[in-house]
A and B are shown apart, each in its own frame.
Chain A
Amino acid sequence: MRVLVLLRLAARGVGRNARRSMLTAAAMVLGLALLIFSRALSDGGHEQWIDSAVRMGSGHVAIQAPGYLETGKLEHRLDGEQVGVAVEAIESLAPELGVLTWAPRLSVNGLASSAASALPVRIEGVDPGREATFSDFESKLQEGRYLQAGDGLHAFVGAELARRLDLEVGNRFVLTAQSASGDVEGQLVRVAGIFRTAVMELDEGLVHMPIETARSWLGTEGAATTVAVLVEPSVRTDGVAAQLAGRLGSDTGVRVLGWRESSPDLDSAVRIDDYGDYIFHIILFAIIALAILNAVLISVLGRRREFGILRAMGLTGFETGVVVFIEGLLLTAASGVVGMVLGFAFTWGFFRDGLDFSGLMDSEMSFSGSVIDPVIVPFFQLQQVLVSVYFILIIGSLASLYPALRASKLDPAEAMKFEQ
């Protein structure tokens, strides 16, 4: 078969009618660019939800004692030795796994009382140095400062809690909780700083204190309820969790949890939103496919005469079809490249720093323990981009198939008739 000839004919067919080719290609280019844009935006949104929730929650990966997730009780804690083993395992992970940082936490439920009132709270003993980079409460600071290395009787409290207890920076208040021995113990602390996160449960019920103070108060030397690990990007969570579980083994009596297990609410939220995106993308794909198909079909209809000439020049019906198909492939390939570049350029050029929805909100808001930042920063995942490109190529190829079929079945005599 005269493949080269057909190829040349196809190339000439694309080039000769530049306007028509451009219009057909435009459908694919725009479709792909929109896909890349919307995908990056929704992935960026998810990444931000997850990041926000796990930083304030128990990390992308949490190492805990069995039973802690279900009960949240101090009796299910990691002792000093287990904490050491866990930390060693985390530190030994390869850097390319994407582990950003880790932080130990010792959490109990208790009561915070001031001269004005008393309220139930979640008390988290944290390592101030590590926590500062982990949960990023620094950026939620309203007054005072976050905990620092060397702090003793300091506490970092939610703004709503501080308001209800009538506390200001420097004020004393008493935390009461059941210690490891089962006795109810009081611990004096002073407000070092006040934060506001927009997550109501945190603002009205979370207290951070230095983990060493918490350990001696609760009689749990060296212990932690969770060793939280931060991973970037979040898709590496499962890899890191599997590696850690492998290294820690089953005999250490610890449990390794990914954020999907430790925050099922967030998991459902992301999955449902993903599902919404799938529907949206299916609809978008369908429209793109139809736009391409229509563009190609219409141009085939208008080119009957041209095909008639090809046939008259000695090409078989099949070869005519091949020419049309190759034309479609050429257009699709070119559009794929241009669309991808355009999609990146558009998203990167205009929304590198995020698409700002803040004009639509009076204040920050939250769901499932995550603060929703009204500015969505696009997040490109190579895999997602490739999937989009792949789909466009498939659609483009399929859309060229039918016109090719039609062109091959054209009756040359009929086609050569003068315009209808």
Chain B
Amino acid sequence: MSGTTVGPRWNRHLAVLGIVSLLTAPPVAGQTAREILEEVDQLLRGESSQGLVTMEIVTAHWARELEMEVWSLGIDHSLVRVRSPAREAGTSTLKAGQEVWNYLPRVDRTIKVPPAMMMGSWMGSHFTNDDLVKESSIVDDYDFEIMFEGDRRGVEVWEFELIPKPEAPVVWGKVEYQVRKSDLMPTWVLYYDESGELMRTMTFSEYRSMGGRLVPARMDVVPSDKPEERTSLIYHELAFDIGLDESFFSLRNLRSSR
């Protein structure tokens, strides 16, 4: 039950379920950091997607691989269903608004994750249930600044510094975020606490075109206090604007195995 961390919502969202949606903003010259991110944020809302993803989890005590199908609608709704391993096939998670539900095919029950367990690990990964639910948006919670613009190992990048607004309900002291200038692809996100200590690192790689868009097909999350551990998400298939509406993200659909 290791409670890991909470992140600013889009990063989490991006990390777990709707990663690709973020990365669809076309590069526009001359925009400020805030304008870029606001645009991204707008694009996110109302967008539906479907994908096939592998989640690799490595901890000090075990390692495992889950193959999952993911549906999402904007930032409020998502449904994840495990396809393999066989022992866990059919296990599903539904996020609707601020609530998280799990479906357990073995006992044929749905269980609502109680508030006390929101900080518990989601499917044994380095994400918490709470990572799935946090609601407010990055634009509301952070002030942005470009802290670096230029060449990093031969690639033109922007590096943003995100400082939470004084009253924003955000636990991080600072978030750093690197984006490639050429295609606006993110390369890494670093999360710090208030004393400036690095808490977790998220890196992106394997940029590919899926569902008609360029996306980083792989993302790795490493908690800084346990560098030998990680959770990786690897997308195999992705489709956008598939016409899902809110009714798809229902408890009934959570239970229906397909």
Q: Which residues of A contact B (CB under 8 A)?
A: 110-111, 113-120, 153, 166, 168, 170-174, 176, 178, 183-184, 186-188
Given A166-B193, A172-B164, A174-B6, A113 contacting B115 (CB threshold 8 A): no
Given A111-B119, A113-B6, A118-B119, A171 contacting B169 (CB threshold 8 A): no
Secondary structure type dominating chain B contacts: loop
Q: Which residues of B contact A (CB under 8 A)?
A: 3, 5-6, 98, 115-116, 118-119, 128, 130, 136, 164, 166-173, 191-195, 199
A114, A115, A118, A178: the one contacting B130 at CB < 8 Å is A118
- Closest chain A residue, CB of each to CB of B5: A115
Distance to closest chain B CB from A334 (angstroms): 68
Q: Cβ of A174 and Cβ of B170 under 8 Å apart?
A: yes
- Closest chain A residue, CB of each to CB of B97: A183
- Specify which chain A residues have a CB less than 8 angstroms from the CB of B195 in the assembled complex: 168, 171
- Closest chain B residue, CB of each to CB of A191: B194
5 A–B pairs (Cβ distance < 8 Å), ordered by A:
A110-B115, A114-B193, A118-B130, A176-B118, A188-B166
Q: A111-B115, A115-B5, A118-B130 are in contact. List 12 more A-B contacts (CB 8 A).
A: A111-B119, A114-B193, A115-B191, A115-B193, A115-B194, A118-B3, A118-B128, A166-B193, A174-B6, A176-B115, A183-B98, A188-B166
Given A115-B191, A172-B194, A184-B98, A120 contacting B171 (CB threshold 8 A): no
Distance to closest chain B CB from A300 (angstroms): 75
- Specify which chain A residues have a CB less than 8 angstroms from the CB of B119 in the assembled complex: 111, 113, 117-118
- Specify which chain A residues have a CB less than 8 angstroms from the CB of B5 in the assembled complex: 115-116
Q: How far is the CA of A413 from the CA of B128 in the complex (A)?
A: 102
Q: Cβ of B171 and Cβ of A113 under 8 Å apart?
A: yes
Given A115-B173, A116-B199, A166-B193, A188 contacting B168 (CB threshold 8 A): yes
Q: How far is the CA of A192 from the CA of B168 in the complex (A)?
A: 17
- Closest chain A residue, CB of each to CB of B7: A115
- Specify which chain A residues have a CB less than 8 angstroms from the CB of B116 in the assembled complex: 111, 120
Q: How far is the CA of A119 from the CA of B6 in the complex (A)?
A: 12
- Specify which chain B residues have a CB less than 8 angstroms from the CB of A166 in the assembled complex: 193
Q: Cβ of B115 and Cβ of A178 under 8 Å apart?
A: yes
Q: Cβ of A111 and Cβ of B193 under 8 Å apart?
A: no
Closest 9 CB pairs of A and B: A186-B169, A115-B193, A118-B119, A174-B169, A188-B169, A118-B3, A115-B171, A171-B194, A115-B199
- Closest chain A residue, CB of each to CB of B99: A184
Q: How far is the CA of A171 from the CA of B5 in the complex (A)?
A: 16
B170, B173, B191: the one contacting A188 at CB < 8 Å is B170
- Closest chain B residue, CB of each to CB of A173: B171
- Specify which chain B residues have a CB less than 8 angstroms from the CB of A111 in the assembled complex: 115-116, 118-119
Q: Cβ of A115 and Cβ of B172 under 8 Å apart?
A: yes
Q: Cβ of B169 and Cβ of A116 under 8 Å apart?
A: no
- Specify which chain B residues have a CB less than 8 angstroms from the CB of A188 in the assembled complex: 166-170
- Specify which chain A residues have a CB less than 8 angstroms from the CB of B199 in the assembled complex: 115-116
Q: How far is the CA of A183 from the CA of B97 in the complex (A)?
A: 10
Given A113-B6, A116-B199, A153 contacting B167 (CB threshold 8 A): yes
Most buried by A among B5, B6, B98: B6
Most buried by A among B118, B136, B194: B194
- Specify which chain A residues have a CB less than 8 angstroms from the CB of B193 in the assembled complex: 114-116, 166, 171
Given A111-B119, A184-B115, A117 contacting B3 (CB threshold 8 A): yes
- Specify which chain B residues have a CB less than 8 angstroms from the CB of A184 in the assembled complex: 98, 115
Q: How far is the CA of A184 from the CA of B136 in the complex (A)?
A: 12
- Closest chain B residue, CB of each to CB of A116: B193
Q: Cβ of B171 and Cβ of A174 under 8 Å apart?
A: yes
- Specify which chain B residues have a CB less than 8 angstroms from the CB of A172 in the assembled complex: 164, 170-171, 173, 194
Distance to closest chain B CB from A167 (angstroms): 9
- Closest chain A residue, CB of each to CB of B172: A115
Distance to closest chain A CB from B165 (angstroms): 9
- Closest chain A residue, CB of each to CB of B173: A115
- Closest chain B residue, CB of each to CB of A186: B169
Q: How far is the CA of A153 from the CA of B164 in the complex (A)?
A: 14
Q: How far is the CA of A287 from the CA of B6 in the complex (A)?
A: 68
Distance to closest chain B CB from A112 (angstroms): 10
Distance to closest chain A CB from B18 (angstroms): 21
Distance to closest chain A CB from B33 (angstroms): 22
- Specify which chain A residues have a CB less than 8 angstroms from the CB of B169 in the assembled complex: 174, 176, 186-188
Q: How far is the CA of A387 from the CA of B194 in the complex (A)?
A: 62
- Closest chain B residue, CB of each to CB of A174: B169
- Closest chain A residue, CB of each to CB of B194: A171
- Closest chain B residue, CB of each to CB of A114: B171
Q: How far is the CA of A168 from the CA of B194 in the complex (A)?
A: 9
Distance to closest chain B CB from A100 (angstroms): 36
- Specify which chain B residues have a CB less than 8 angstroms from the CB of A114 in the assembled complex: 171, 193
- Specify which chain A residues have a CB less than 8 angstroms from the CB of B167 in the assembled complex: 153, 188
Q: How far is the CA of A184 from the CA of B114 in the complex (A)?
A: 12
- Specify which chain B residues have a CB less than 8 angstroms from the CB of A170 in the assembled complex: 194
- Specify which chain A residues have a CB less than 8 angstroms from the CB of B128 in the assembled complex: 118
Q: How far is the CA of A170 from the CA of B194 in the complex (A)?
A: 9
- Specify which chain B residues have a CB less than 8 angstroms from the CB of A115 in the assembled complex: 5, 171-173, 191-194, 199
Q: How far is the CA of A61 from the CA of B194 in the complex (A)?
A: 41
Distance to closest chain B CB from A265 (angstroms): 23
Q: How far is the CA of A7 from the CA of B187 in the complex (A)?
A: 109
Q: How far is the CA of A174 from the CA of B193 in the complex (A)?
A: 13
Distance to closest chain A CB from B182 (angstroms): 32
- Specify which chain B residues have a CB less than 8 angstroms from the CB of A118 in the assembled complex: 3, 6, 118-119, 128, 130
Q: How far is the CA of A178 from the CA of B191 in the complex (A)?
A: 27
- Specify which chain A residues have a CB less than 8 angstroms from the CB of B191 in the assembled complex: 115
- Closest chain A residue, CB of each to CB of B128: A118
- Closest chain B residue, CB of each to CB of A165: B171
Q: How far is the CA of A137 from the CA of B1 in the complex (A)?
A: 33
- Specify which chain A residues have a CB less than 8 angstroms from the CB of B170 in the assembled complex: 172, 174, 188
Distance to closest chain A CB from B202 (angstroms): 14
Q: How far is the CA of A171 from the CA of B168 in the complex (A)?
A: 13
Distance to closest chain A CB from B184 (angstroms): 27
Distance to closest chain A CB from B216 (angstroms): 24
Q: How far is the CA of A238 from the CA of B54 in the complex (A)?
A: 66
